[in-house]
């Protein structure tokens, strides 16, 4: 490895960082992370903090998960790669598929299609949804519906169903035939409705209205995150996703659950769909499926959809889609080991218990600091703090405020993430109560410094 001076001097000189302007990375050189252990990361200056971001919602088991590291190393020795395109397979991916089938059985999802990450998984689900209708002779069902404020990755299909202008405007025109309905977001919504249950009903009515307007026979699928993550951690009322499911069923529209963040325990349930008692047609997964140690994903497919493909006699069911790294044996080995550890440690229960502590702590901070307009969470380890200029007016905060909280919190012992006016928390699911207190104390220091 090059020395420290070389790394600091060249930091953002020869690479562009995702999700920021190149000039910003040059003006504000990124923190260089050089080590990780347990739930802590260490930077190039030796400063160590609790990772309140959990990598990027994906290091659920922390940075020292030896069984996953060992599985990757062993698979690299045995078979570092072989494709699963038509005619070949590998042993690791077959074993993983059986494990995933068991894990997702309560969600009614029994087949896997493998990808290299979340955006790939979303793209796969959107494409297979259209194909499902074509196989069934409803070729006109091509449109997609989704939620404003939703996040579905950055491929053209995913960006088109995204509900945040930041990921859309500079890349337009996007895919035609994508339409958005209001998110069930009590703090800000076009209905001016703060009651979560009533708002859920209004958003469901908006969905019915949009379906009537477009014509159900033109719509392939509705895609949503069970809890909206990147859009600012927005847990819908418990009636919302079941309501969406019922409307989709009534109109023959497939339901895609984007579980890239929520699968594998983050919400305090094993999947976000299960949290709400919903059985989607597809579930997009990635991120924590390998504890972040290998880029990998899986789209889980329901029996109902699978049977249409598997029993096809029209010749339209050949899947003209897939990635070189679909079913990568090293990714599969990593996922097998991750799944075993995820279940052994029962991380969903720890996520629920620690998440309750985080939420209580954030509510206490809100009582203390007027700049906090809203705190969100309440389902496992995904939380957001929304900063405001004026609480009653819900006006935008000082542009520098969230960054300042983050910088001071980092010095005080915790890495947190800034996204627009929100500070987002998505720590590893193996967090202890003591780690929760480190994060809360660091945030307190951050807000006190404003």
Ligand X SMILES: Cc1ncc(COP(=O)(O)O)c(C=O)c1O
In the complex, which residues of this chain contact ligand X (CB under 6 A)? Answer: 117-119, 122, 151-153, 225, 229-230, 258, 260-261, 286
Nearer to ligand X, 135 or 284 (CB): 284
Nearer to ligand X, 260 or 431 (CB): 260
Nearer to ligand X, 131 or 419 (CB): 419
Nearer to ligand X, 117 or 413 (CB): 117
Nearer to ligand X, 204 or 224 (CB): 224
Residue with tokens 């807000």: 447
DSSP labels for 102-165? HHTGGGTEEEEEEESSHHHHHHHHHHHHHHHHHHTT-TT--EEEEETT----SSHHHHHH---G
Q: Inter-axis angle of helices 118-135 and 303-310, to 10 degrees?
A: 60
Return all residues near 437 (Cβ < 8 A) that are at least 6 apart.
Answer: 361
Quick check: helix, strand or coil at residue 447?
helix
Q: Considering only CA atoms, which of 309, 262, 271, 244 is closest in space to residue 113?
A: 309
Nearer to ligand X, 108 or 272 (CB): 272
Question: Is the distance from CB of 396 to CB of 421 less than 8 angstroms?
Answer: yes
Nearer to ligand X, 226 or 268 (CB): 226
Rounded to the nearest whole angstrom, what is the least distance from the CB of residue 117 to ligand X in the complex? 3
Rounded to the nearest whole angstrom, what is the least distance from the CB of residue 287 to ligand X in the complex? 6
Rounded to the nearest whole angstrom, what is the least distance from the CB of residue 261 to ligand X in the complex? 5
Q: What's the rounded Cα separation, in Å, for the pair 289 and 296?
A: 7
3-state percent helix, strand, coil for the chain, nearest multiple of 5 = 45, 15, 40
Rounded to the nearest whole angstrom, what is the least distance from the CB of residue 62 to ligand X in the complex? 19
The dihedral over CA atoms of 355, 360, 366, 372, expressed in degrees to the nearest 10, equals 10
Nearer to ligand X, 257 or 362 (CB): 257
- Sign for the CA dihedral angle at 355, 360, 363, 369 comes to negative
The first and second tokens of residue 36, run together, are 């990780």
Rounded to the nearest whole angstrom, what is the least distance from the CB of residue 331 to ligand X in the complex? 13
Q: Is 161 exposed, middle or buried, given 0-12, 13-18 or 19+ CB atoms closer than 10 A?
A: buried
Nearer to ligand X, 263 or 439 (CB): 263
Rounded to the nearest whole angstrom, what is the least distance from the CB of residue 290 to ligand X in the complex? 11
Nearer to ligand X, 365 or 423 (CB): 423
Rounded to the nearest whole angstrom, what is the least distance from the CB of residue 77 to ligand X in the complex? 27
Q: What's the rounded Cα separation, in Å, for the pair 192 and 287?
A: 35
Question: Is the distance from CB of 443 to CB of 405 less than 8 angstroms?
Answer: yes
Rounded to the nearest whole angstrom, what is the least distance from the CB of residue 289 to ligand X in the complex? 10
Nearer to ligand X, 122 or 443 (CB): 122
The CA–CA distances, whole Å, from 194 to 18, 32, 180, 202, 375 equal 34, 41, 20, 11, 14
Rounded to the nearest whole angstrom, what is the least distance from the CB of residue 161 to ligand X in the complex? 10
Rounded to the nearest whole angstrom, what is the least distance from the CB of residue 152 to ligand X in the complex? 5
Strands 219-224, 372-376: pairing kind: unpaired
Q: What's the rounded Cα separation, in Å, for the pair 59 and 303?
A: 30
State the DSSP code for 449. T
Rounded to the nearest whole angstrom, what is the least distance from the CB of residue 364 to ligand X in the complex? 28
Alpha helices in 139-239 (DSSP H): 156-161, 196-214
């Amino acid at each position: 490895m090059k020395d420290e001076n070389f790394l600091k001097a060249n930091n953002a000189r020869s690479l562009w960082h995702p999700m920021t302007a190149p000039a910003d990375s040059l003006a504000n050189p990124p923190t260089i992370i050089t080590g990780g252990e347990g739930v802590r990361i260490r930077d190039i200056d030796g400063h160590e903090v609790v990772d309140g971001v959990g990598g990027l919602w994906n290091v659920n088991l922390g940075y020292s998960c030896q069984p996953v590291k060992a599985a990757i190393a062993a698979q690299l020795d045995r078979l570092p790669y072989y494709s699963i395109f038509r005619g070949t397979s590998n042993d690791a991916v077959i074993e993983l598929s059986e494990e995933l089938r068991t894990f997702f059985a309560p969600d009614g999802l029994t087949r896997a299609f493998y990808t290299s990450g979340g955006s790939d998984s979303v793209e796969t689900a959107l494409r297979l949804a259209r194909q499902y209708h074509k196989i069934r002779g409803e070729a006109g069902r091509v449109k997609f519906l989704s939620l404003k404020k939703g996040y579905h990755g950055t491929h053209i299909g995913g960006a088109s169903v995204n509900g945040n202008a930041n990921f859309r405007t500079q890349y337009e025109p996007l895919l035609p035939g994508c339409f958005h309905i209001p998110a069930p977001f009590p703090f800000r919504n076009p209905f001016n409705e703060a009651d979560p249950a009533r708002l859920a009903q209004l958003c469901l009515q908006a969905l019915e209205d949009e379906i009537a307007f477009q014509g159900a026979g033109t719509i392939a699928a509705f895609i949503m995150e069970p809890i909206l993550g990147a859009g600012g951690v927005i847990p819908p009322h418990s009636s919302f996703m079941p309501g969406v499911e019922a409307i989709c069923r009534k109109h023959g529209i497939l339901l895609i659950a984007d579980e890239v963040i929520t699968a594998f325990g983050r919400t305090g349930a094993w999947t976000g769909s299960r949290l709400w008692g919903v059985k989607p047609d597809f579930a997009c997964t990635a991120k924590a499926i390998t504890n972040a140690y290998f880029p990998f994903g899986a789209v889980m497919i329901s029996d109902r959809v699978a049977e249409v493909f598997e029993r096809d006699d029209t010749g339209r069911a050949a899947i003209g889609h897939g990635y070189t790294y679909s079913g990568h044996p090293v990714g599969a080995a990593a996922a097998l080991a991750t799944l075993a550890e995820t279940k052994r440690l029962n991380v969903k229960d720890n996520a629920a218990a620690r998440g309750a502590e985080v939420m209580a702590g954030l509510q206490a901070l809100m009582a203390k600091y007027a700049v906090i307009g809203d705190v969100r969470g309440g389902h496992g380890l995904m939380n957001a703090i929304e900063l405001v200029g004026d609480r009653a007016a819900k006006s935008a905060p000082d542009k520098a405020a969230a960054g300042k909280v983050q910088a001071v919190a980092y010095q005080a012992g915790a890495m947190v993430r800034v996204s627009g006016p929100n500070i987002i928390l998505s720590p590893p699911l193996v967090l202890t109560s003591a780690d929760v207190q480190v994060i809360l104390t660091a945030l307190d220091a951050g807000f006190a410094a404003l």
